[in-house]
Amino acid sequence: MSLMRLAYASEATFEAKPVEKGVEPHVARILMTSRKNNAKDQLVGGLYYGNDRFFQYLEGEEDAVRRTYDRILKDDRHRNIVTLIEEPLKSRTFSNWSMKYVPLSRDVRAFLDDQGLESFDPAAFTSEQCEKMIELVRNSSQEQNLVNRDGSESVGDAPQVLSSGMKTGLIVAGVVLVGALVIGGTML
Ligand code: FAD
């Protein structure tokens, strides 16, 4: 079994819907399918979307990477696909993200500034810039936006499970509210 890694750049064909928070709906659907399929195929990687452009990095068993890339190449939600990296890999370099999503983040803006690039155009990246992007995706500490099975998004970075601190806070807030209502009621 041999491992390989692959990175490509492409342009979105859809018109991005403005979203105040969370993931653009087309991208949310792509992420949902990717996470389902990639987890099954033990593929890991990251997807960056910004400026109507995609940058995706995939690594895993060669067969699985190639099969997935064949499907991606046929997808009409993007065009002008440019393969940036396609090579064997000695060992896996990513944690267990089936498809980590990186929106336009401060890290990436800083990277573009650092490189003297005005806009995000991954098709024009040098190989060094590609490696830096992969590093950014790998190290991204962004909270992952949650994508539901129906393709809708759980808004923003809202935690799915409340932390114990938040639970305690909510209970205290509830007790204070009930107390205020009782006091208010007795004063009427
Ligand atoms: P299906 O069951 O065929 O489709 C799943 C969902 O996607 C359905 O809701 C379907 O309506 C919708 N869909 C599929 N094709 C289109 C289309 N052309 N236009 C609109 N909606 C569509 N797939 C992966 O498995 N792994 C990846 O890492 C991955 N990355 C991608 C990155 C980009 C930038 C894009 C554009 C696509 C990516 N895809 C990825 C999706 C891939 O191109 C295929 O659509 C998908 O792999 C098909 O898988 P499926 O047969 O399980 O899904």
Q: pLDDT tens digit string along 24-48?
A: 899 999 999 999 999 999 999 889 9
Residue 3 in contact with residue 61, Cβ under 8 Å? yes
State the distance from the centre of ligand 1 to the C-alpha of 143, rounded, in angstroms: 23
Q: Which residues contact 6 (CB under 8 A, 6 or more apart)?
A: 57, 58, 59, 65, 69, 83, 85, 86
Q: pLDDT tens digit string along 139-158?
A: 775 445 444 444 444 433 32
54 lines ligand 1 (CB under 6 A): yes
Residue to mutate, 72, 73, 79, 98, ligand 1, most ligand atoms under 8 Å from C-beta: 72
56 lines ligand 1 (CB under 6 A): yes
